[in-house]
Amino acid sequence: MNIQLAVKEGKIWMIEVNPRASRTVPFVSKAVGWSLAGVAARCMAGEKLLSLRGVSELRSSSNKCYCVKEAVFPFAKFPGADITLTPEMKSTGEVMAFGHDAATAYYKSQIAAGSPLPRPDKGGIVLSVRNEDKEDVVRLARKLYSFGYEIWATRGTSTSLWKAGIESNALYRIPLGSPNTLDLIRLGKIKWIVNTREDGESAAHDSLKIRSAAVLAGIPVTTTLAGFAEATLGIVAMSRSGDAEPISLQEWHNKGRIDS
C-alpha cells in the first residue's frame, strides 16, 4: 500500500491510500537483492516462500545495510520557483543510495541527487533558522565547526552560536544591508545553505530569494531541521570511513554474500 500522510499541529492526516507497488516494490527488491514481484507471483502459483531460492540466503546474510531513496527535483530549470516542498508532486525522478549506516546512505543520496554536501575545505555554510530551531542548530553546528567549516549566520543565529562558543560570521537579512546571503552566493563564498522558514511575509520573501539564488548557483539547500541533522551525521560518518565510491547493485550484494 502507498500511503500519503500530512502532519500538522501534532495531528496526522491521511491524504490517500493506494494499493500500488510500482515504486516501493522495485526499491525494496534492489535493497534486498532479489525480485519481490517474482517471489509473489510464484507464491500465488502455489510455491512455499521458504522453498524459494534466495530467501534462506537473505535471512542469513550479514550484509546489513540502510537504503535511502531521495527525490530529484527540476527547480534549476524554473528560476524563481520556491523549492519548499508541499503535498503536491514536484519531483521528476529519484535516486537510491546504500550505506552500512543511515547517515552514510543519506550522504550518498545527496551526491546522487545532484546536491552533494561540501567538504570543510570547499566553502562556507550559511545558517538561517527560526527561533525554535536554534538550540538544535547550535548542537549540530558545533560538530561542523570542529571539522573546520566556516560558518556564516544571520544575526540572531550567529548570536546563539557565539554564546555557545562557536565562531561565526554575522549576516544581515536581505532588506537590512550587506553582507547578506545573496552577496555570499554571488561571491562564491558558500557551498551549503540551511534555511528553515520563519513566520511572516518578509521572512518568507527573503527565504524565497535565497533558495532561488542557491538553486541557480548549484548550492545545496536544506530546509528542515531533520534534514540538517541527518546531513551533519552523514558528514561525520563519511569523515571516518571515506566510503563514498559508487558500486553496482550486483557488487554490493555479492560482497554481502562473500562476507557472510
Give 184-201 pLDDT, tens digit per residue. 999 988 999 998 876 666
* pLDDT, tens only, 111-129: 888 888 888 777 789 998 8
Residue 81 lies in a domain: no
Residue 221 lies in a domain: yes
Domain hosting residue 134, numbered range: 117-241
- Residue 127 and residue 52 share a domain: no
* pLDDT, tens only, 36-65: 888 888 899 999 888 876 666 655 555 578
Q: At 206, is the pLDDT very low, low, confident or very high (cuts 50, 70, 90)? A: confident
| Nearest one of 172, 178, 176 to 128, comparing CA atoms | 172
Residue 89 lies in a domain: no
- Residue 144 and residue 44 share a domain: no
- Residue 135 and residue 26 share a domain: no
- Residue 128 and residue 202 share a domain: yes
pLDDT (0 to 100) of residue 250: 81
- DSSP secondary structure letters along 8-37: ETTEEEEEEEE---TTHHHHHHHHHTS-HH
% residues pLDDT > 70 (the chain) = 87
pTM over 0.85: no
- Residue 222 host element (H or E): strand 221-222
Residue 253 lies in a domain: no
- Residue 234 and residue 123 share a domain: yes
- Residue 38 and residue 124 share a domain: no
Grid coordinates given for 70: 531521495
- Residue 221 and residue 144 share a domain: yes
- Residue 230 and residue 143 share a domain: yes
Give 190's DSSP letter: E
CATH code, 156 = 3.40.50.1380
Residue 96 lies in a domain: no
Q: How many Å apart are CA 219 and CA 202, to the nearest integer?
A: 23
Average pLDDT, the chain: 83
How many structural domains comprise the chain?
2
| Nearest one of 93, 123, 244 to 193, comparing CA atoms | 123
- Residue 161 and residue 48 share a domain: no
- Residue 126 and residue 221 share a domain: yes
